[in-house]
Amino acid sequence: MLMKRLGYILSYLLILTVISCTQPYQVSYEQREKHAEIAQAKKTDIFVGIVWHYVEQSSFINGVNLAVQEINNKDFDNDGIKGVLNRQLKMIIIDELGIEHGYFHKYFPRSKQRNIDQRLALQLANTFTRNPEVVAVVGHAMPIEAIAASVTYQHHGILYFAPVATNLLLTQPGFKLVFRLIPPNQEQASQLAGYCALTKNYKNMVILHERTAYGEELADSFNETAAALGIKIIHRQSFFKSREQVNFKSIIADVQGKKFDAIFLASSEDQTAVEMIKTARKMLNNISFDLVGTHFMNIPSIGQEAGSAAEGLVVPTVFNSAFNLADNFVRSYKMNYNGEEPDAWAAQGYDSIKLLAYGMQESGSSVPMVVATTLRYMRTWIGVTGVHAFAENGEIRGKKYFFRQWEKDHFSALEGAHIPYSFYSLAHRRTKQDLVH
């Protein structure tokens, strides 16, 4: 734990060193705030940065664009002028794998690997910090990027929404301009363990997790909640993640001959998850066991590539299309994208922009710190992915996970599977409050 904390400190020192080598952040912060005030007075367009991968075929970007379209066509003040604060939202979309689209029309050479390191994440973030018109950024598809970039955005006065990053480190510094829009690893793992114990009644489980902060946080939290709910973890092992084909036989061999109900697989890399699932099913074909995954495994390609080995895989998701308040979103999304069903990433992209517009409209301003303060102290905002409220440090409160299961060739919602743990969690909180009082 000490070495892990030391690693976090060194990472932040590296990030701050890189920031100090670019435009002085205090000057950038003040320029951005002043520019936002002038733009607000002149009613000019509001510029928002979007960072994602494979933007030409991304449901997340589709969700963002749909939200922008609806906001820019809405008369918020009933005065005949459309747009939030009577202004139009303009997106500056950067493909984190190399191609930037929209406002700049430039090409930024970048590594083609999925795990973009901190320096490259900062380089990408600085394309926004150099533009004083940008008041907010949404995106970064991997935790390491989001954490590194959040420091840059905070110090340059840019409001930042992290719609995917679940690592606890994102909100630990308590930045005033950084908000997480998805429940963190601790909450995700606790709900998964609750599902396993209270909905499925598992008694013995195996934990296999990638050797990253993401995997370790999930494994630690899952282990803690599972133990409290009566599940015995008979084996826990870590592995290196890679997009290359990896031989996981030695890892699965360690659980051969043991009896257990399910494997909790904490992986953020799709190809790694596929290979682990296929290897487990092949080497453990003499026993029956279930598979439980993470939110990063909530993508059809894993089930499609793993084939029959993925049958029954359960994953968490923040989006339930059966949620009544999502009806209009689902209908509009399908209408705009050739009948395609929206997934969790589409819903997250949509809610991110809708929440941003809400914060601006409620505060009567596009100045980042003013909007951030409004969001931090609002009671709740309900989007298509559920309830949004925030703690002082930007951590999300109230938002929950639902569950989906892979069946033949698609994920199906497990309606009500999250409810037993929700009741348990509520009762547990009340018991703790009673003890305090």
Do 95 and 228 lie in one domain? The reply is no
Q: Of 266 and 97, which is predicted with more confidence?
A: 266
pLDDT computed for residue 123 by the predictor: 82
* Longest CA–CA separation in the chain, Å: 71
Cβ(211)–Cβ(219) under 8 Å? no
| Average pLDDT over every residue of 113-134 | 78
Of the pLDDT bands very low, low, confident and very high (cuts 50, 70, 90), residue 101 is very low
**pLDDT of 77 strictly over 60:** yes
Do 224 and 367 lie in one domain? The reply is no
Do 67 and 90 lie in one domain? The reply is yes
**pLDDT of 113 strictly over 50:** no
Do 357 and 251 lie in one domain? The reply is no
Lowest mean pLDDT segment, chosen from 16-25, 144-153, 245-254, 361-370:
16-25
Count of the separate structural domains present in the chain: 2
Strands 381-383 and 159-162: what pairing? unpaired
| Average pLDDT over every residue of 117-146 | 88
| Token representation of residue 190 | 């606790």
Determine the residue type at 236.
Answer: R
Do 100 and 218 lie in one domain? The reply is no
Per-residue pLDDT of 274-314, as tens digits, reads 999 999 999 999 999 999 999 999 999 999 999 999 999 99
Query: Torsion angle, CA of 362/365/366/370, rounded to 10 degrees?
Result: -80
| Average pLDDT over every residue of 207-235 | 96
Do 20 and 111 lie in one domain? The reply is yes
Q: In sequence order, what are the beta bridge partners of 136? A: 48, 159
Q: What string of DSSP letters covers 196-258?
A: IIIIS---EEEEEEESSHHHHHHHHHHHHHHHHTT-EEEEEEEE---SS----HHHHHTTTT-
**pLDDT of 112 strictly over 50:** no
pLDDT computed for residue 109 by the predictor: 38
CA angle 90, 91, 92 (to 5 degrees): 125
Determine the residue type at 207.
Answer: I
pLDDT computed for residue 11 by the predictor: 56
Do 35 and 157 lie in one domain? The reply is yes
**pLDDT of 5 strictly over 70:** no
Q: Of 243 and 347, which is predicted with more confidence?
A: 347
Give the separation between CA 340 and CA 362, rounded to whole angstroms: 33
Per-residue pLDDT of 400-409, as tens digits, reads 999 999 999 9
| Average pLDDT over every residue of 158-163 | 98
Burial class (CB in 10 A: 0-12, 13-18, 19+), 73: exposed
Of the pLDDT bands very low, low, confident and very high (cuts 50, 70, 90), residue 233 is very high
Question: How many helices, marked H, and strands, marked E, lie in the chain?
Answer: 14, 16
- Residue tagged 């308590």 (tokens): 174
* Residues whose CB falls within 8 Å of the CB of residue 140, separated by 6 or more in sequence, listed in order: 51, 96, 121, 146, 149, 162, 164, 165
CA 174 to chain centre: 18
22: domain CATH number?
Answer: 3.40.50.2300
Do 293 and 385 lie in one domain? The reply is no
Q: Where are the beta strands (DSSP E) in 271-426?
A: 290-292, 314-317, 381-383, 386-390, 396-397, 402-407, 410-413
Do 63 and 153 lie in one domain? The reply is yes
**pLDDT of 163 strictly over 90:** yes
Of the pLDDT bands very low, low, confident and very high (cuts 50, 70, 90), residue 2 is very low
Instruction: Give the whole-number percent of the chain exceeding pLDDT 70.
Output: 86
Per-residue pLDDT of 24-73, as tens digits, reads 678 889 899 999 999 999 999 999 999 998 777 799 999 999 999 999 99
pLDDT computed for residue 57 by the predictor: 73
Do 377 and 425 lie in one domain? The reply is no
Note down the domain range covering 245.
186-317+401-436
Give the separation between CA 100 and CA 109, rounded to whole angstroms: 10
pLDDT computed for residue 436 by the predictor: 45
Average pLDDT, the chain: 88
Do 363 and 270 lie in one domain? The reply is no
Do 298 and 414 lie in one domain? The reply is yes
**pLDDT of 141 strictly over 80:** yes
Query: Torsion angle, CA of 424/427/429/434, rounded to 10 degrees?
Result: -160
| Token representation of residue 290 | 């279930």
Of the pLDDT bands very low, low, confident and very high (cuts 50, 70, 90), residue 110 is very low
pLDDT computed for residue 240 by the predictor: 87
